[in-house]
């Protein structure tokens, strides 16, 4: 069954199932909402101490979905990267989720995957009642096939993400399983580059080789200029081209 309504200002209808085995969300990014202080008494939000800001309802959507997740369920939500590192109220909510062990994985997705927006997004996976508080970070931002109007995930891209998620271990320049202490040392900032180093060191420049190439080019240039000067000098002078020939000769003589 489909239902249409404001899921933030009015919670799930009471005559519908209350919790679910899986929650999958792709809410409008950084949407506005009321953020009325009365929501601090709302059971979806009250245990986190702060409300998502009026101008960015991202965490309001996340907490709404998480509230309706079964104790043994799994939730995945697509959001902009800002939720991983923004401070103030969002930082307080994020810290509480991490302290509770609720955030299971953070997956950085490629830019330009969705219609209507080209920004890169992140998939945050959440679970309840975990025994550990580690978080798996996957940087899949380069796992895509470039399309005409938007990027796409190939079957190979998808399988790589799923296998890394299932194995839940470090993969060089792609994934890192961060301990809670590591996250705490980073002030609960979940920005993916803090945990997954994708830096590719450039090949060192062989200056001897470059110097030899420059020397060779200059020698070739001198040969060509000499040949061109000889060709110009051999041209017959006429009243029409005399000034041009004289100017050309002066240029090449000066260059030499």
Side-chain-side CA neighbours of 228 within 13 Å: the count stands at 15
- On whether both 61 and 150 belong to a single domain, the answer is yes
Whether residue 1 is contained in a domain is answered as no
- CB 218, CB 226: distance < 8 Å: no
Whether residue 52 is contained in a domain is answered as yes
Whether residue 140 is contained in a domain is answered as yes
Domain boundary among 150, 173, 194: 194
Decide if pLDDT at 167 tops 70: yes
Identify how many contiguous H helices and E strands the chain contains and give both numbers. 6, 6
Pairing of strands 175-178, 135-139: antiparallel
- On whether both 102 and 35 belong to a single domain, the answer is yes
Q: What is the DSSP string of 69-105?
A: EEEEEEEEEEEEGGGGT--HHHHHHHHHHHHTT-EEE
Gap between the Cα atoms of 99 and 79, Å rounded:
21
pLDDT band at 78 (very low <50, low <70, confident <90, very high): very high
- On whether both 156 and 230 belong to a single domain, the answer is no
Domain boundary among 144, 166, 194: 194
Both tokens of 220, joined, read 């070739």
- On whether both 153 and 221 belong to a single domain, the answer is no
Gap between the Cα atoms of 21 and 144, Å rounded:
29
Gap between the Cα atoms of 121 and 69, Å rounded:
22
Residues in the chain: 256
Gap between the Cα atoms of 35 and 60, Å rounded:
9
Q: Which of 113, 131, 137, 122 is nearest to 197 (CA)?
A: 137
Whether residue 225 is contained in a domain is answered as yes
Whether residue 12 is contained in a domain is answered as no
Whether residue 5 is contained in a domain is answered as no
- On whether both 165 and 225 belong to a single domain, the answer is no
Work out how many domains the chain is built from and give that number. 2
- On whether both 166 and 134 belong to a single domain, the answer is yes
- On whether both 65 and 182 belong to a single domain, the answer is yes
Q: Which residues pair with 74 in a beta bridge?
A: 22, 127
CATH of the domain at 68: 3.40.50.150
Q: DSSP letter at 40?
A: G
Pairing of strands 69-80, 121-127: antiparallel
- On whether both 38 and 90 belong to a single domain, the answer is yes
- On whether both 190 and 119 belong to a single domain, the answer is yes
Decide if pLDDT at 99 tops 90: yes
Decide if pLDDT at 202 tops 90: no
Whether residue 9 is contained in a domain is answered as no
What is the dihedral sign for C-alpha 207, 210, 212, 215? Answer: negative
Q: Which of 48, 34, 31 is nearest to 92 (CA)?
A: 48
Decide if pLDDT at 255 tops 70: no
What local confidence, expressed as pLDDT, does residue 242 receive? 73
pLDDT band at 102 (very low <50, low <70, confident <90, very high): very high
Decide if pLDDT at 123 tops 90: yes
**Owning domain of residue 240:** 207-255
Whether residue 8 is contained in a domain is answered as no
- On whether both 225 and 122 belong to a single domain, the answer is no
Q: Which of 159, 82, 179, 163 is nearest to 124 (CA)?
A: 82
Pairing of strands 69-80, 103-108: unpaired
Q: Tell me the pLDDT tens digit for each residue of 234-250.
A: 766 677 777 777 777 67
- On whether both 165 and 72 belong to a single domain, the answer is yes
- On whether both 77 and 182 belong to a single domain, the answer is yes
Both tokens of 114, joined, read 């969705």
């Amino acid at each position: 069954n489909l239902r249409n309504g404001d899921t933030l200002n009015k919670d799930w209808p009471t005559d519908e199932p209350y919790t679910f085995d899986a929650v999958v969300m792709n809410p409008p990014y950084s949407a506005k909402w009321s953020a009325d202080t009365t929501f601090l008494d709302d059971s979806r939000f009250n245990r986190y101490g702060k409300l998502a800001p009026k101008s960015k309802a991202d965490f309001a959507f996340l907490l709404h979905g998480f509230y309706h997740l079964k104790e043994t369920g799994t939730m995945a939500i697509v959001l902009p990267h800002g939720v991983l590192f923004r401070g103030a109220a969002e930082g307080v909510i994020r810290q509480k989720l991490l302290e509770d062990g609720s955030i299971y994985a953070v997956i950085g997705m490629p830019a330009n995957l969705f219609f209507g927006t080209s920004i890169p997004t992140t998939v945050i996976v959440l679970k309840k009642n975990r025994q550990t508080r580690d978080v798996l970070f996957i940087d899949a931002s380069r796992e895509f096939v470039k399309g005409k109007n938007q990027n796409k995930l190939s079957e190979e891209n998808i399988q790589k993400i799923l296998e890394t998620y299932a194995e839940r271990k470090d993969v060089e320049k792609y994934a890192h399983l961060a301990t809670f202490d590591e996250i705490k040392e980073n002030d609960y900032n979940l920005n993916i580059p803090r945990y997954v180093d994708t830096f590719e060191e450039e090949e060192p420049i062989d200056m001897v080789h470059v110097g030899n190439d420059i020397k060779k080019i200059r020698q070739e240039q001198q040969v060509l200029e000499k040949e061109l000067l000889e060709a110009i000098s051999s041209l017959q002078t006429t009243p029409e081209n005399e000034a041009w020939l004289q100017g050309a000769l002066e240029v090449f003589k000066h260059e030499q």
